[in-house]
Amino acid sequence: MAVAALRRDDPVRLGDYHLLGRLGEGGQGTVYLGRRGDAGEQAAVKLLGAEAAESETARMRFMREFEVAMQVDDFCTARVLDVGMQDGRPFIVSEYVPGPSLYRQVTEHGPLTGGELQRVAIGMATALVAIHQRGIVHRDLKPQNVLLGPSGARVIDFGIARALDVSTQTTRMIGTPLYMAPEQVRAESAAPPIDVFAWAATVVFTATGAPPFGADSLPAVINRILNDEPDLGDLTGRLREIAALCLAKDPKRRPDAAQVLLWLLGKDLTPPQPPAAAPPSAELQAIPREVLVEGRKLAELRQSDAATRSSGGTTTDPSDLSFGERGRTSPAGGRADWGGAPTPPPQMPRTPLPPHTPPPAGGYPMARRPPHGEATWPPPAPRARKGSGLRWVIAASVVALLLAGALALLLLLPRLLASDGNGGGYETHSPQPTHTVTSSPYGGQGDGYGTHY
């Protein structure tokens, strides 16, 4: 592992450890290579960043996480050696593992394959089993936190990431988004399944050189984690199947770290099943099946009858459903339900009358006539005019009289023209010439239409 020179603002000593150089730096703080005394062993000394150290909560959580990390076995992680405080900033001392991080190894030399890939996957899974057995969740497993030492892969910064990532922003996600589980992105859970998800994402990176959900913009990565399927790239064989199961969106469908380790060691690959329902009690198992079926029928019928009564419908007597096709008869001769009491007839719901409301002091308001042009519905019926029927009767009578008079005149006119002056009927002599006298406008002899001689 390359060691950089110290900067001018870096401390020279932390506690009993003399700092030799810088091993790395990030948002959490800075990791230095230190040595205890003049001839002591080398160690990795991580100093909490100045910004995070301003939070009392961050400092207290850092110390509490140190106590938890002391409980993890040493064979798969960097052993914790000491912890201290300098100038209000806590630091933690752990075993120095000579070797590059998994991230640097892949980015500088390419993806791992074959047995080398298998050894790294098994080493990380073994570390997770040891961590989870101690009741600790790493929360930030990623290629940068896996060291490839002489004795194999070592997982570092377990549990400490939670303290180092604390800030005054309460909505900040804890962890590295490229390797976060969906529930971790939503800040819903910090249970061991998030470490299993991160293990599979780190394995995909180790075998392909890219995270399974991309490494472009943060919103795009988070959207893929929540909604898209992972891109497993060139990962093949049994390891591909295991990684796919560990990258399930639902944490309940992911295997635990122990199951992953057994699969890697050759055990039959069986996907985890959702938790089964609890078995029935001994008392319930002793009841005959016919009774259970009948009880379920009665329960469903009573529920439907209750819904029918609330809607005003007709209900069914539940005692008509019993063993076979007959109901049970009560001592009184009627049907009885399973409680032994006769089933009362259904009662029709009675709707209470509304209370009497006295009229207002000023009386009820008059109906308002709509203004001109305002439409009303339904439209008013047409009003009949006064006397219109009588007028029609009089007009019809006058027309009838006129028609009768005209008819009579037509019948009597021939007789009037043919009769003489004595009124003795029709004459048979030859007709005489008729002379027409011009009428005088002043009366006299010419006072008529014509004179016969």
Residues marked as catalytic: 140
Closest C-alpha among 354, 349, 353 to residue 310? 349
Cα torsion for 67, 71, 76, 80, to the nearest 10°? 40
CA–CA dist 224, 295 (Å, integer): 49
CA–CA dist 358, 253 (Å, integer): 69
Q: Could you check whether the bond before residue 251 is cis, i.e. omega within 30 degrees of 0?
A: no
Angle CA 394–399–405, to nearest 5:
125
Phi, psi at 442, each rounded to 5°: -105, 15
CA–CA dist 130, 118 (Å, integer): 19
DSSP letter string, 323-350: STT-PPBPTTSSBB-TTSSBPPPPPPPP
CA–CA dist 356, 23 (Å, integer): 90
